Structure 1
């Protein structure tokens, strides 16, 4: 039987891998901002909504496990990409704008080293310890 060894949050991504993931986040953020600009989105709306995913931190009021789950729902690429695909398929301009703002937020977070959270605590992320 194969055994899996648990890798601690602080050792999950080290050195070059973490740098590649951070660069990837920076590229996603830059691309999202460029797409938003190309679509002619309102920069006032962008400024008002760019930090909206951080509301998901409030999940930590219910403890680390729930907090990590809620935070990760708001900081995974799955949500904004799904909305973006739907927006593209249906010519839903507002959805396209929301999707790119959300992607920009996640990309900026990842570029700064804020990754998806482990249930062990807010500071334990897939990019290492914050």
Structure 2
């Protein structure tokens, strides 16, 4: 991936991360709730204790933006603020991960993502 495309994608992810903060701001929770919950989706890495295939599947479930959007939409439709909050946190966390080069996991290795290998410069 070229450097200019990589920068463009990171800017897009930054925009999505900022959107999650804006959406969170409209929920009425205290400001500290967002950073307190932001890393919660990483608990999904517990699947790697079973094996890499299970770990990748569970990790990807909790880091897929469509899943986050569906959770957010359900929370909004049924007026369940905790569900809306969960969707916003998952969405923001996934965008933040992509900014730092952490993508959806492939089943062979934790460091192998849809963005390439974590920690290598290409």
Q: Give me the TM-score of the superposition, normalised by structure 2.
A: 0.85
Q: How many equivalent pairs are there?
A: 117
Equivalent position of 1:80 in the other structure: 68
Equivalent position of 1:124 in the other structure: 112
Residue correspondence of structure 1 range 56-95 to structure 2 within 5 A = 56-95=44-83
1:33 has 2:21 as partner: yes
Unaligned runs of 5+ in 1: 1-13
Equivalent position of 1:4 in the other structure: none
Q: Which runs of 4+ in 1 moved over 6 A?
A: none
1:47 has 2:35 as partner: yes
SS at match of 1:43: coil
Note the aligned Cα RMSD (angstroms). Answer: 1.5
Distance 1:20 1:63 in 2: 34
Q: Give me the TM-score of the superposition, normalised by structure 1.
A: 0.81
Asked if the contact 1:18–1:127 (Cα under 8 Å) also holds between the matched residues in 2, the reply is no
Asked if the contact 1:117–1:124 (Cα under 8 Å) also holds between the matched residues in 2, the reply is yes
Q: Which has the higher contact order (CA 8 A, sep 6+)?
A: 1
Unaligned runs of 5+ in 2: none
